[in-house]
Chain A
Amino acid sequence: MAEKVIYAMYDDDDVLKDGAKKLVAKGVKVADVFSPFPIHGIDPIIGVKQTRLGIMAFLYGLTGTALATLGMNYFMIHDWPMNIGGKPNDTYLDNVLSFIPITFEFTVLCAAHGMAITYLLLNKTLPGMPATNPDPRTTDDKFVMELRLSDNNQFSEVELMSMLNETGVIEVDQKDIH
């Protein structure tokens, strides 16, 4: 089903933030904001939930720690016991100190890559994916606020437009998205 979307463009992030505050106070639901840089403090205004990326980072890190431990236990203790500086190498624990730097590095590697890939996937911005921002100028010096008519059934299109015009908007665009 096609849906009507309003894109309101601003040339200042503070004007957009104040505008969003006013609109939300009137009960308008802002679907999204597109900006060339993170706008500090916009998340609670438009109701973006606290990110759970940190929890994922912890899980990716744990995966890294586990993989590194299992891997080195197999390579260095069972498959081909390594004599490192004459240290005892019967069990993993005997040599654990020399494995800690690698475990640490692998944990960081898994956490960082896992987090970056998750982030790109969730935002649909993996390399080669089509751009979904409404206007290329939002990657330069303009800021766009997205309102969906289906989210704001209590207001008519005209009402929304007039409310937007009071917030210092420089350009308003409408689109049907499928």
Chain B
Amino acid sequence: MEFKISSKAKSFTVVLMLLGVIGICLGVWIEFSCHGGEHFQTRFLGNLLVDSFFFFAIGLGALYFLALQYATETGWYASIKRVIEGVAGYLPYGIGLMLVTLLTLSLMKGGGIYVWMDNAHVEHDPILVKKSAYLNQVFFWIRTLAYMGVYFIFWRGFKMRSLEEDRVGGTAIHFTNYKKGALFLVFFAVFSSTSAWDWIMSIDAHWFSTLFGWYVFAGMWCSTMIVLVTLTLYLKKQGYLNKVNENHIHDLGKWTFATSFLWSYLWFSQFMLIWYANIPEEVTYHLTRIEDFKGLYFGMFFINFAFPMLLLMSRDAKRHAGVLTVVGVIIFAGHWVDAYLMVMGGSMGKHAYIGALEIGMALLFLGFFIRIILTNLTKAPLMPVNHPFLDESIHHEI
């Protein structure tokens, strides 16, 4: 069945984007009239990075999830495959926005976000001088373009093969996808860590944590699963995807539950090891966040951990559209705050706060993100035709 965006959904995304623009204008006006605009540049660029990264990561998470299904040859997901592909279809826009943001930061010598980009600053900083073999603009751009190139090429390949499979059928495409999926996971295993170091961890330029990449990756995966489950529920409510039953929803709910735990586990592992060892170079990351954002930092962890644990534990809750949506929306906001603290804790510190600018920019990106995904869904039939596991997926029962 072909998907058509309802006029309600169209106006919803437009209203989100309009509210976003109004919020940003209001935020800029408040910043200049009440705070003198002293921190405006860092604040604006930091927010740009938070939102372009957060939504880019969700598109990337969907691509990763798709590759995971191909590589493991699972069957259950076949009837929601187009939903995953629709979310992954945000990737080219996400890559574009990420590149624009990073290019702006790069041209502005870091813009107050990446201090290591400013040579005048690095000269007087012995730690950054030692790190400059890795953290320098040329190598940074080589890595960034390599990540984006690989993601884009794989995304395009998966998309084209998926549409081709609808036309020609057979199992040859399935086995190509199997190999490419496995290959993508090999690249992604390395890139998910190193790209998080490059784009996010290097904001706290002195600090380092080997676990950081997985922590960022787990947050991104969890946000992706929330988007997938709410989007599937929305489409079902609109009368599409009638082959998708409560067992598929249950599985998506399980993924949301499990990835929330993965994220909480990694957050806590990083926090506890650093707290335990208490080495000055390492504790700075958490100290700055606890000093400047105590409520937000622990509140975000508590919500992202306790809400899914308590509310999504039972089997019935994972099959209940209302519970899934409410928990999903709350922890989606929680993971956005997580991304916000990663960027702002290291760049603006005590001057950062969530105001009209932050909320406006997040709404603008969210509206754009939803609109792109819904548009992607109209471009292909919502149910794949010749996927070899389609029959298994339709009869999925757990």
Residues of A participating in the B interface, judged by any CB pair closer than 8 Å = 40-41, 50, 54, 58, 84-87, 97-98, 100-101
Residues of chain A contacted by B315 (CB below 8 angstroms)? 50, 54
Residues of B participating in the A interface, judged by any CB pair closer than 8 Å = 268, 271-272, 275-278, 313-315, 397
Within the assembled complex, what's the spacing in Å between the Cα atoms of A84 and B277? 10
- Contact partner of B272 (CB less than 8 A), chosen from A40, A54, A98, is A98
B277 to A85, Cβ gap below 8 A?
A: yes
- Which 10 A-B pairs rank lowest in CB-CB distance, beginning with the nearest? A97-B272, A97-B275, A85-B276, A85-B278, A41-B397, A98-B276, A100-B272, A100-B268, A54-B315, A58-B313
Residues of chain A contacted by B272 (CB below 8 angstroms)? 97-98, 100-101
Residues of chain B contacted by A40 (CB below 8 angstroms)? 397
* Given A50-B315, A85-B277; 6 other pairs, CB 8 A cutoff: A54-B315, A85-B278, A98-B272, A98-B276, A100-B272, A101-B272
Within the assembled complex, what's the spacing in Å between the Cα atoms of A83 and B276? 12
Tell me, rounded to whole Å, the shortest Cβ–Cβ distance linking B265 to chain A.
9
Within the assembled complex, what's the spacing in Å between the Cα atoms of A18 and B314? 31
Residues of chain A contacted by B277 (CB below 8 angstroms)? 85
Tell me, rounded to whole Å, the shortest Cβ–Cβ distance linking B247 to chain A.
12
Residues of chain B contacted by A86 (CB below 8 angstroms)? 278
Residues of chain A contacted by B275 (CB below 8 angstroms)? 97
Within the assembled complex, what's the spacing in Å between the Cα atoms of A117 and B370? 49
Tell me, rounded to whole Å, the shortest Cβ–Cβ distance linking B38 to chain A.
37
21 examples of A-B residue contacts, CB within 8 angstroms: A40-B397, A41-B397, A50-B315, A54-B314, A54-B315, A58-B313, A84-B276, A85-B276, A85-B277, A85-B278, A86-B278, A87-B278, A97-B271, A97-B272, A97-B275, A97-B276, A98-B272, A98-B276, A100-B268, A100-B272, A101-B272
Residues of chain A contacted by B271 (CB below 8 angstroms)? 97
Tell me, rounded to whole Å, the shortest Cβ–Cβ distance linking B397 to chain A.
6
Tell me, rounded to whole Å, the shortest Cβ–Cβ distance linking B39 to chain A.
33
Within the assembled complex, what's the spacing in Å between the Cα atoms of A97 and B314? 27
Residues of chain B contacted by A100 (CB below 8 angstroms)? 268, 272
Tell me, rounded to whole Å, the shortest Cβ–Cβ distance linking A146 to chain B.
24
Residues of chain A contacted by B268 (CB below 8 angstroms)? 100
Tell me, rounded to whole Å, the shortest Cβ–Cβ distance linking B266 to chain A.
14
Residues of chain A contacted by B314 (CB below 8 angstroms)? 54
Residues of chain A contacted by B276 (CB below 8 angstroms)? 84-85, 97-98
Within the assembled complex, what's the spacing in Å between the Cα atoms of A87 and B268? 18
Tell me, rounded to whole Å, the shortest Cβ–Cβ distance linking A59 to chain B.
13
Tell me, rounded to whole Å, the shortest Cβ–Cβ distance linking A147 to chain B.
26
Residue of A nearest to B395 (CB): A41
Within the assembled complex, what's the spacing in Å between the Cα atoms of A104 and B268? 12
Residues of chain B contacted by A41 (CB below 8 angstroms)? 397
Within the assembled complex, what's the spacing in Å between the Cα atoms of A86 and B275? 11
Residue of B nearest to A84 (CB): B276
Within the assembled complex, what's the spacing in Å between the Cα atoms of A98 and B277? 11
Tell me, rounded to whole Å, the shortest Cβ–Cβ distance linking A174 to chain B.
34
Within the assembled complex, what's the spacing in Å between the Cα atoms of A50 and B275? 44
Residue of A nearest to B265 (CB): A104
Residue of A nearest to B277 (CB): A85
Within the assembled complex, what's the spacing in Å between the Cα atoms of A86 and B276? 9
Within the assembled complex, what's the spacing in Å between the Cα atoms of A54 and B317? 14
Within the assembled complex, what's the spacing in Å between the Cα atoms of A145 and B259? 41
Residue of B nearest to A86 (CB): B278
Residues of chain B contacted by A97 (CB below 8 angstroms)? 271-272, 275-276
Residue of B nearest to A101 (CB): B272
Residue of A nearest to B398 (CB): A40
Tell me, rounded to whole Å, the shortest Cβ–Cβ distance linking B341 to chain A.
19
Tell me, rounded to whole Å, the shortest Cβ–Cβ distance linking B218 to chain A.
17
Within the assembled complex, what's the spacing in Å between the Cα atoms of A101 and B315? 26
Residues of chain A contacted by B397 (CB below 8 angstroms)? 40-41
Residue of A nearest to B278 (CB): A85
Within the assembled complex, what's the spacing in Å between the Cα atoms of A50 and B315? 11
Tell me, rounded to whole Å, the shortest Cβ–Cβ distance linking A104 to chain B.
9
Residue of A nearest to B272 (CB): A97
Within the assembled complex, what's the spacing in Å between the Cα atoms of A84 and B271? 16
